[in-house]
Structure 1
Amino acid sequence: MSMTSRRNFLLSAGAATVGGLVSGSLARASTGYWVAQASGPETPNLRLGFIPIVESAPLIIAKEKGFFDKHGMTGVEVLKQASWPAARDNVVIGSAGGGIDGGQWQMPMPHMIHIGAITNNQPVRMAVLCQLITQGNGIAIAGMHAGKGLGLDISGAADYIKNFSASNGRKFKAAHTFPNVNQDFWIRYWFAAG
């Protein structure tokens, strides 16, 4: 078999496979097997939690602007959560028990909840439907550290951090919102890079 005929065979087989998948997916979609019927969403009622930080803006705006109602989800509640552990506990409880069905999460919390890593080995089925926002995060430092070399590159602040305890009576502290979330890794990477 020559290269040309092999290439033509692969192109034809690929086109046939893609065509079969598309037509099969469309048939499934029209039966409601993979997605909700066109007559409306699977459920018009959801309780969605959020933590009042910039990442919650898309969820809050969707509720305030009526986007849920526009798409047939007329019973959506957007509920402020006290903390990340409270949101985690409320999704374990579920809306039937007074908790929440889902909402805004820091990555990789949904995955950790799904496998039970942060829910006392009690997996709670979760899926990440979309990523609402990728901006708005950063590393902030207290004013007392101004001018000490704590910037993007902290290699010049190594002595300051190392000797911080001696001059301040406590260790240098860096905090993040929840174990293993993105901010945890960013801070560790920031220190390791410097």
Structure 2
Amino acid sequence: MQDFMPLSDADWPSQIADMRGGFAGRLNVYRVMAHHPALLRAWADFRDHVVVKTSLGAERSEVVILRTGVRLQAEYEWAHHVVRGRASGLSDARILSLRGDAARLSGADAVLVRAVDALIDAACLPADLQAELVDLVGVDGLFDVIATVGLYRILGCLVKSFDTPIDADIAAALAAQPIG
């Protein structure tokens, strides 16, 4: 079996040398994706929209990503987005609530969590949930929820398939401030 661990700077593919100093060189997940340089290059614009330019805003985006990580049992994504979620203003109690039953949540988090669950379970948002999302985040937000779950589903498959290690800075942050 081939090893698909994160590529070191010395092993970084020359055809994407320009990407090493940006997002692609900062995280192990993208250093793994660098085994397929054309995919990583194509990934950049989609990732930029979902991660940076989303209409959801930082907090709601993190709610969607954290729930997706929980549902996929992707510890890499959970760990990274606990740290990012805290940075975006989510409390530890709110973050931990995303691991639980959607029926126990209320407000925006309940709608977002039910949307993630529907997309993970059935790859479909029923009409009533679409309407709730449009009321909550608008049409762009509806599409951004779907895109966010899709992007993180791919990343979840990647990190779990290749046993991608949690980045050292994230592990250190969680060691210094564990969550629940």
TM-score of the superposed pair, with normalisation by structure 1: 0.27
| Greater fraction of residues in strand | 1
Choose between structure 1 and 2: higher helix proportion.
2
Q: Which of structures 1 and 2 has the larger relative contact order (alpha carbons within 8 angstroms, sep 6+)?
A: 2
Larger radius of gyration, structure 1 or 2?
1
